[in-house]
Amino acid sequence: MKISQKGAVPAVNPRPAWSVAQRRLATALILFHVLAVLLGVWGAVPPFSRMNREAAVFFQPYLQATYLNHGYRFFAPNPEASHLIRYEVRRGDRELLGAGRWPDPVEHWPRLHYHRHLMIAETLFGLTNAPPLDTVPEADRQRITGQHNLARQLIAGIQKSLQRRHGEGEVKLWLVEHQLAPPQEVAQGRAISDPELYLERSLDELLGNRS
């Protein structure tokens, strides 16, 4: 720090400017980050073209390391139905040990805890939403079979978790699809929690029909 000639206002030495090489490196890193975010979202959530996906693959290690591989297109412009898991734990045919929905906004708190359980339900929907094997080309059957096997492993894990909590009993699971009410009906007073908007499918029956 230097003192000006008048002796009143201290003069601060300006920081040295970046070199040309430093500016070029910073610009390249910023461009890489912006492209990674844009292309990551572009090819993260279906529907996407083959070009979308191939362009995004290059940036996947960076997106995963920085936790930027979000599927923002899930929310707009046309959000789809959400999915829940309804469960019952019974001992024998009568005694009810536990029942509820997963995720539950009261039980699964804070929001991050709720979101983790929501993504389990959404993942299970994605794995069980594949068509029956006898309706798909031979080339796709191995992939769909793998999805069904992964779904069974996930269901088994959910059942074990519920048994540890509620006691050893038979766990029955239903996949619940919460459909969105049309905007015009909401404007007319229809509640978004209308029971008619919830459609249930037994996971046992669902996987049984697709094996």
For residue range 164-197, what is the model confidence (pLDDT) as tens digits? 998 888 999 999 999 999 889 999 999 999 999 9
- Helices and strands: H and E segment counts in the chain: 7, 6
Round the average pLDDT of the chain to a whole number and report it.
82
Among candidate residues 18, 42, 74, the one where a domain is terminated = 74
**Confidence band, pLDDT 50/70/90 cuts, at residue 162:** very high
Q: Give the total number of structural domains in the chain.
A: 2
Last residue of some domain: 74, 92, 123?
Answer: 74
> Do both 106 and 192 map to the same domain?
yes
Cα–Cα distance measured from residue 102 to residue 31, given in angstroms and rounded to the nearest whole number: 41
Q: Render pLDDT for 37-80 as a digit per residue (tens, 0 to 9).
A: 887 777 665 666 777 777 777 888 888 888 776 665 556 667 78
Let me know whether 50 and 147 are in one domain. no
The predicted model gives 134-139 an average pLDDT of 83
The answer to whether residues 51 and 96 belong to one domain is no
Average pLDDT over residues 105-109: 86
Per-residue pLDDT, 174:
95
Summarize the confidence of residues 13-29 as an average pLDDT. 84
In this predicted structure, what is the pLDDT of residue 111? 81
Query: Which of 74, 98, 132 lies at the terminal end of a domain, its last residue?
Result: 74
Same domain flag for 106 and 143: yes
Residues 59 and 87 grouped into a single domain: no
How sure is the predictor about 86, in pLDDT bands with cuts at 50, 70 and 90?
very high
Q: How many CA atoms lie within 13 A of 186 on its CB side?
A: 8
- 86, 174 Cβ separation under 8 angstroms: yes
Residue 109 neighbours by CB under 8 Å, 6+ apart: none
The pLDDT confidence band at residue 210, using thresholds 50, 70 and 90, is low
pTM of the model: 0.62
Residue 155 is predicted with a pLDDT of 92
Where in the sequence is the domain holding 68, given as residue range(s)? Answer: 2-74
Contacts of 199 (CB under 8 A, 6+ apart): 176, 177, 179
Interaxial angle between packed helices 138-166 and 111-128, expressed in degrees from 0 to 180 and rounded to the nearest 10: 140
Type of residue at 196? E
User: Can you state the angle between helices 50-57 and 20-42, rounded to 10 degrees?
Assistant: 140
Strand pairing report for 2-3 and 198-202? unpaired
The two structure tokens encoding residue 195: 């029971």
